[in-house]
Amino acid sequence: MYCVRKVTNDLYWVGANDHRLALFENCFPIPRGVSYNSYCLLDEKTVLFDTVDWSACRQLLENLAYVLDGRELDYLLVNHLEPDHAACIEEILLRHPKVKLISNEKAFMLMRQFGFHVDGHECIEVKEGDTFSFGKHTVTFVAAPMVHWPEAMVTFDTTNGVLFSADAFGSFIALDGKLFADEVNFDRDWIDEARRYLTNIVGKYGPHIQLLLGKAAGILDQIKYICPLHGPVWRKDLGYFIDKYDKWSRYEPEVKGVMIVYASMYGNTEAAAQALAAKLCERGITDVAVYDVSNTHVSYLISESFKYSHIVLASVTYNLGIYPVMKNYLEDMKALNLQNRTFAIIENGSWAVKSGDLMQKFVEEELKNMTVLNERLSIASSLHADKAVELDKLADALAESLAEPEKG
């Protein structure tokens, strides 16, 4: 059975939802599912914008057949070659042998690398600035390299103001009947998963997102819809989400608050983390989030790290080093280019306490534009009353740092 939604008078969502996939990219948990968005334009010519993951191909084909209603598919326009959007290209070609392919040079190269048999079809190669008419609708193409693959591009329909944004402005979470961001409480129910999607998948490429936002700046007043390849379509309050992307891609904190991440073997370091959280709340700082690094998937930690201005690393010493899962978290921060945060440190060890110095060294030498507060809480095995002054000093230092005006 088909399942489609109308985006505009002649543009339809023909994608699919996936609640069966446990790990997006076989890496990131998606307990609330994900959507694969594909769009069909009915103009003088018919156009399919991107396909879906192979697991959802049957749904796409049923949706497309319903919307076309007996018409031929004239064009398949491909913005992004990642298999969760491109896996059905060959099936579309088999079922619509007269269809013409529109994409860019790198994308056609990747199609051949993936083994898609496209050479028997007319392949129309476009580049940034080119335009193409389907009748009433004219589109223009904008290169979006490394957002987040090198071939990625976005397509802007100058007729109705629809921006087909590829993986930009996407989100985890299946749509489940809803299509538009204004049909959900996005700030309450979706923003965390949108941030987790962006920061973990495209976070490393902040400068490339900034480049794309710069290109879009000249036509912001013309963009009426943003149609991403995952998540809801935006038709209202576009500035809200564009501002989030701007912040995330500049590595600027979303909120002033404290994220405490602890690595604790037997609960003693955890107790110190909780004691600090209580001290902060006593000082009126209530935007505090506490996470166990061992049982929180690192994608959630990365998302929260992009959200908060201050991060407390609380780690036991393990084999004279940083606790392995904490070290993995730090390595992910480095890999995803997190910057412009203030860190504080809690270290623990029953002998030869090393974790604090090693974490500070990593933050200062491996990460960019980070500040580490001088105050540190150092405990031997467990937190005792004789450390109350150190704990208060650390809480005070965090409170004072949070009270400082934002730079720039």
- pLDDT tens-place string over residues 36-61: 999 999 999 999 999 999 999 999 99
Share of the chain above pLDDT 90, in %: 96
pLDDT score of 201? 94
> Judging by DSSP bridges, how do beta strands 46-49 and 39-42 pair with one another?
antiparallel
pLDDT score of 16? 98
- With the CA atoms of 36, 37, 42 and 45 taken in that order, what torsion angle do they form, in degrees rounded to the nearest 10? -70
Over residues 302-311, the mean pLDDT reads 98
φ/ψ (deg, to 5) at 323: -50, 130
DSSP 124: E
User: Which region holds residue 165: left if phi is over 0, alpha if psi is between -120 and 50, else beta?
Assistant: alpha
Over residues 346-361, the mean pLDDT reads 95
Output the pTM of the full model. 0.95
Q: How far is CA 164 from CA 45, 160, 199, in A?
A: 18, 12, 20
User: What pLDDT band is residue 81 in, cutting at 50, 70 and 90?
Assistant: very high
User: What pLDDT band is residue 406 in, cutting at 50, 70 and 90?
Assistant: confident
Over residues 388-395, the mean pLDDT reads 97
Over residues 218-231, the mean pLDDT reads 94
For residue 408, pLDDT beyond 90: no
Q: Which of 121, 79, 126 is nearest to 104 (CA)?
A: 126
213, with CB counted inside 10 A (0-12, 13-18, 19+), is middle
Contact assessment for residue 17 and residue 35, using Cβ atoms and an 8 Å cutoff: yes
Contact assessment for residue 63 and residue 15, using Cβ atoms and an 8 Å cutoff: yes
Over residues 290-310, the mean pLDDT reads 98
Share of the chain above pLDDT 70, in %: 100
Tens digits of per-residue pLDDT, 180-189? 999 999 999 9
> Which class is domain 258-399?
alpha beta
Q: Which two tokens stand for residue 9?
A: 């008078």
pLDDT score of 253? 96
pLDDT score of 220? 87
Over residues 365-373, the mean pLDDT reads 97
Q: How many Å apart are CA 11 and CA 87, to the nearest integer?
A: 22
- Helix, coil or strand: residue 335: helix
Tens digits of per-residue pLDDT, 10-32? 999 999 999 999 999 999 999 99
pLDDT score of 11? 98
Q: Is there a cis peptide before residue 310, judged by omega within 30 degrees of 0?
A: no
Same fold flag, 5-249 and 258-399: no
pLDDT score of 126? 98
Task: Show me where the domains of the chain are located.
Answer: 5-249, 258-399
225: Cα within 13 Å, side-chain hemisphere? 23
> Which class is domain 5-249?
alpha beta
For residue 135, pLDDT beyond 90: yes
> Judging by DSSP bridges, how do beta strands 11-13 and 34-36 pair with one another?
unpaired
- Helix, coil or strand: residue 262: strand
User: What pLDDT band is residue 399 in, cutting at 50, 70 and 90?
Assistant: very high
Q: How far is CA 205 from CA 107, 128, 148, 150, in A?
A: 19, 20, 7, 11
Query: How much is the mean pLDDT over the chain?
Result: 96
Contact assessment for residue 50 and residue 229, using Cβ atoms and an 8 Å cutoff: yes
For residue 407, pLDDT beyond 70: no
Residue type at 328 in one-letter notation: N
Residues shown for the chain? 408
Contact assessment for residue 130 and residue 156, using Cβ atoms and an 8 Å cutoff: no
User: What pLDDT band is residue 218 in, cutting at 50, 70 and 90?
Assistant: confident
For residue 227, pLDDT beyond 60: yes
Q: Which two tokens stand for residue 5?
A: 């939604």
Q: How many Cβ atoms sit within 10 Å of the Cβ of residue 342?
A: 20
Tens digits of per-residue pLDDT, 102-119? 999 999 999 999 999 999
Q: Which two tokens stand for residue 135?
A: 């009748």
User: What pLDDT band is residue 405 in, cutting at 50, 70 and 90?
Assistant: confident
Q: How many Å apart are CA 59 and CA 55, to the nearest integer?
A: 9
